[in-house]
Amino acid sequence: MDSTAPFPSNTLLRAARLIARLLVLILILKPVRPAPPYVRLGPPQTVQTEQPAVCVHTRLTDEVEEWKIQRTLSMVREMGAATIVEFFPWPYVERERGEFNWEHPDRILRHAENQGLTVIARLGLAPEWARPPVVEKVTTFTYLTEDHFDSFANFVRAFTARYRGRVDMVIIWNEPNLSIEWGDRPVDPEAYTRLLRLAYAAAHEGNPEITVLGGALAPTTEPEDSPSGMSDIRFLERMYEAGAAGAFDALAVHTYGFTHPPQDTPDPAVVNFRRVELLRAVMERYGDGDKPIVITESGWSDDPRWTRAVRPGQRIAYTLEAFEMVKSWPWAGQLCIWIFRQPLDLHNRRDAYYALVSSDFHAKPIYDAIQAYARGWPIPYAP
């Protein structure tokens, strides 16, 4: 090597030029972002199942990535569930009064149909324009006053008309017997009945063949004067007393087992799976026994850190027994398990342990068990 060579040498100059070019390239490429994954709809699928009552409540409301919507629904189909319940919030569609943006429901229904799934649409929440201005009163998304019941009915009409022939069942509002679902106000069965009546008429105007599901009451034993809610049984009685009989085609029921096996005897003072029979008795008592019931939320949790949960094996056994029980009830339609998957397990431990698959699509043993039951395979988790 020539130690007297001048510095910087050609080698160093070349290196400096190369580094400069790389820096320029990095600056140019920095704002360029990778394209979102392209989602191909794929060929239409059909659900293979031997148990048409098997249904699951999905939660695609806040799922922003389309491939995850598709993956969720394909896993539902592979599990052998022919029906899903999915929530379509009113504020997502009618963010500004009279301006409907159907992008969100269109996308979910496109994928659900492609997987061969039947969708029960749960409709609810109130957009900002339908609530008092925040300077007057701070309200939640579930706060809907009587003067905007018509606006909600308009949305229901628009929804059922748009998806006529594609969505055959809609649920009007969610758990109106809980204060938290009624704008953090005292619950009001009569007001809910008025809302239901308006929504019922509007839904049938939009699609005369639609089945309107009323109720979707939370299973609770709260007394009538409780600030947090009202017993679902009493709430339903007061709905009938307010004239709700003609305002729905079927009753949506939420029934959870908590620590009780599904066979436990129904008791108004206990929240267990067969509480649905008490609601059925109310329907019959008010001469509405011809209407069916759809269980749109149910299930058991196997959260190891919750005193109202069961062990994983019990969860499987109870869930499969509940499906068999529903089959034996002539008045019951689907049994929809809460919840298939949530977008992120981190911030909602309760739902994470109700879910059948994890946020990252890892199937839990309960998923395998329901799949085997629905598709007529040997149950992989049997004692």
Partner 1 sequence: MTTALLDVALQALHWLRRHPRFALLGVNLAGLLIAYDLVTRPGAWFGPQDGTWRRSQINGDLYVGIDPSYPPFAEWTPGGIVGLEADIAREIARRINTTAYIQIMGFDGLYSALYTGGVDLVISGLKVDPAYMEWVHYTQPYFDAGQILVSPAAAPIDDMRDLDGKTVAVELASAGDIAAQRWSRRLEALTIARFLLPDEAMHAVQTGAADAALVDVVSARLYVEQRPDLRLADETTVPDGYVIALRKKDFRLAEEIDHALADMIDDGTLNEIIDRWL
The binding site for partner 1 (CB under 8 A) comprises 1, 3, 5, 7-9, 11-12, 15, 304-307, 311-317, 346-350, 365-366, 369, 381-383
Q: How far is the CB of 244 from partner 1 (least distance, A)?
A: 35
- Alpha-carbon span 122 to 61, nearest angstrom: 11
Which of 33, 216, 202, 197 has the alpha carbon at shortest distance from 120?
216
Q: State which amino acid sits at residue 350.
A: R
**140-156: string of b/e by CB count within 10 Å (b at 16+)?**
ebbbbeeebbebbbbbb
Output 198 or 357, the one with its CB closest to partner 1. Answer: 357
Q: How far is the CB of 185 from partner 1 (least distance, A)?
A: 23
CB 119, CB 171: distance < 8 Å = no
- Alpha-carbon span 171 to 165, nearest angstrom: 16
Output 184 or 237, the one with its CB closest to partner 1. Answer: 184
CB 95, CB 130: distance < 8 Å = no
Q: How far is the CB of 378 from partner 1 (least distance, A)?
A: 13
Q: How far is the CB of 251 from partner 1 (least distance, A)?
A: 31
Which of 37, 159, 7, 181 has the alpha carbon at shortest distance from 92?
159
Output 256 or 367, the one with its CB closest to partner 1. Answer: 367
Output 81 or 369, the one with its CB closest to partner 1. Answer: 369
Output 286 or 306, the one with its CB closest to partner 1. Answer: 306
- Alpha-carbon span 110 to 42, nearest angstrom: 11
Output 3 or 133, the one with its CB closest to partner 1. Answer: 3
CB 358, CB 341: distance < 8 Å = yes
- Alpha-carbon span 209 to 370, nearest angstrom: 31
Output 205 or 303, the one with its CB closest to partner 1. Answer: 303
Angle at CA 371, nearest 5°, toward 109 and 44?
35
**DSSP-assigned letter for residue 7:** S
- Alpha-carbon span 38 to 1, nearest angstrom: 56
Q: How far is the CB of 7 from partner 1 (least distance, A)?
A: 3
Q: Which segments of 218-325 are extended strands (E)?
A: 250-256, 293-299
Q: How far is the CB of 88 from partner 1 (least distance, A)?
A: 25
Q: How far is the CB of 14 from partner 1 (least distance, A)?
A: 10
**What angle do the packed helices 66-79 and 365-375 form, to 10 degrees?**
50
Which of 150, 129, 134 has the alpha carbon at shortest distance from 202?
150
Q: How far is the CB of 3 from partner 1 (least distance, A)?
A: 6
Q: Which helix (H) or strand (E) holds 27?
A: helix 10-29
Output 12 or 41, the one with its CB closest to partner 1. Answer: 12
Q: How far is the CB of 365 from partner 1 (least distance, A)?
A: 4
Output 167 or 309, the one with its CB closest to partner 1. Answer: 309
**Residue listed under structure tokens 């509007």:** 202
- For the chain, the straight-line distance linking the first and the last C-alpha, in angstroms and rounded, comes to 79
Output 16 or 41, the one with its CB closest to partner 1. Answer: 16
Radius of gyration of the chain, Cα coordinates, nearest whole angstrom: 26
Q: How far is the CB of 19 from partner 1 (least distance, A)?
A: 12
**Residue listed under structure tokens 């504020």:** 91
